[in-house]
A and B are shown apart, each in its own frame.
Chain A
Amino acid sequence: AQTIHQWPVAEIKAVGSPLSLGCTIKGKSSPNLYWYWQATGGTLQQLFYSITVGQVESVVQLNLSASRPKDDQFILSTEKLLLSHSGFYLCAWSPGQGNQAPLFGEGTRLSVL
């Protein structure tokens, strides 16, 4: 069975500090990968998606970047955090073929102070 793991579970960071969030999918080769952001009490906004290693498409510009260094890994990062980056970050995956519903990880809660 496929599993998706996000790390860390939660972060408290200072404005202007760097950030790196990770997501790993096990048990599935060549998945499509997605990053979503959820403001507290809000809806989900897609940030990035990737259909293959080394290829990442940006959907919304929030002074964040994403990379896919390995087939099973998706990284979200920034060199300088803003207060507006606070929220809940969710990674999701779907099979590379077909139109299966994306399945989500447990998320990382980020507080920027």
Chain B
Amino acid sequence: AQSVTQPDARVTVSEGASLQLRCKYSYFGTPYLFWYVQYPRQGLQLLLKYYPGDPVVQGVNGFEAEFSKSNSSFHLRKASVHWSDWAVYFCAVSLLPGTGSNRLTFGKGTKFSLIP
């Protein structure tokens, strides 16, 4: 069955440091993958999406992610974080890519915070 694992429940870095949030997926075939961000008490906002093609995808606010089929991973990166990045980040895989019904399975999320 399709699944997503975010192995780090919490990640903390200093402002200006680089960020990597890990995502591992389990999917038979080539997945469609997404990263969403959730700010406190808000809905989810799409950061970036991967459809089969270039393994490195660019998103909003300086985020990028790299798809690796050999590692079954889709890690999110940012070169230099800012206080505005303090949020929960969710990785998701599409259950039925190519059907037009884009149902998602989400990971448990990674809470990202900055060292004061």
Contacts and interface: CB of A to CB of B under 8 A. Distances in A.
B45 interface: yes
Contacts of B83: none
Interface stretch (B18-26, B60-68, B73-81, B94-102): B94-102
A104 B94 contact: no
A87 interface: no
Contact of B43 (A51, A101, A106): A106
A92 B92 CA distance: 14
Interface residues of B, number: 25
Contacts of B36: 104
Contact of B102 (A42, A102, A106): A102
Contact of A99 (B46, B100, B106): B100
A96 B100 contact: yes
Contacts, number: 56
Contacts of B107: 43
A34 interface: yes
Interface residues of A, number: 26
B31 to A, nearest CB: 11
Interface in B36-79: 36, 41-46, 49, 51
Contact of A104 (B32, B43, B100, B103): B43
Interface of B: 32, 34, 36, 41-46, 49, 51, 90, 94, 97-98, 100-109
3 A-B pairs with least C-beta separation: A104-B43, A104-B44, A43-B108
Given A32-B102, A43-B106, A44-B90, 12 more contacts: A32-B100, A43-B90, A43-B107, A49-B103, A59-B103, A99-B32, A99-B94, A101-B34, A101-B102, A102-B102, A104-B36, A106-B42
